[in-house]
Amino acid sequence: MPAPECEHDLPAERLFFALWPDDALRHHIVQCRDTLAVDSDGGRLVSAENLHLTLAFLGRMDIRQRACVEAMADTIQCRSFELQLNRFGYWPRPRVLWIAPAEMPGALISLAADLHAGAGSCGLKLDARPYRAHVTLIRKLAHPPQNANCPSLIWSVDRFVLVRSRTLPQGVEYEVLREWVLGEESFEG
In 3D space, the residue among 184, 108, 139, 185 whose CA is nearest the CA of residue 46 turns out to be 139
26 belongs to the binding site for ligand ATP (CB under 6 A): no
Q: Report how far residue 161's alpha carbon sits from residue 52's, in angstroms, rounded to the nearest whole number.
A: 10
29 belongs to the binding site for ligand ATP (CB under 6 A): no
Residues in contact with 108: Cβ distance below 8 Å, sequence separation at least 6, in sequence order: 81, 83, 101, 133, 157
In 3D space, the residue among 95, 78, 89 whose CA is nearest the CA of residue 185 turns out to be 78
Helix, strand, coil percentages in the chain from 3-state DSSP, rounded to 5: 25, 35, 40
40 belongs to the binding site for ligand ATP (CB under 6 A): no
Contact string (CB under 6 A) for ligand ATP, positions 138-177, x = contact: ---------------------------x-x----x-----
> Measured from the CB of residue 141, what is the shortest distance to ligand ATP in angstroms?
14
Of 74, 103, 127, 179, the one binding ligand ATP (CB under 6 A) is 127
90 belongs to the binding site for ligand ATP (CB under 6 A): no
Chain residues binding ligand ATP by CB under 6 A are 14, 16, 54, 57, 127, 165, 167, 172
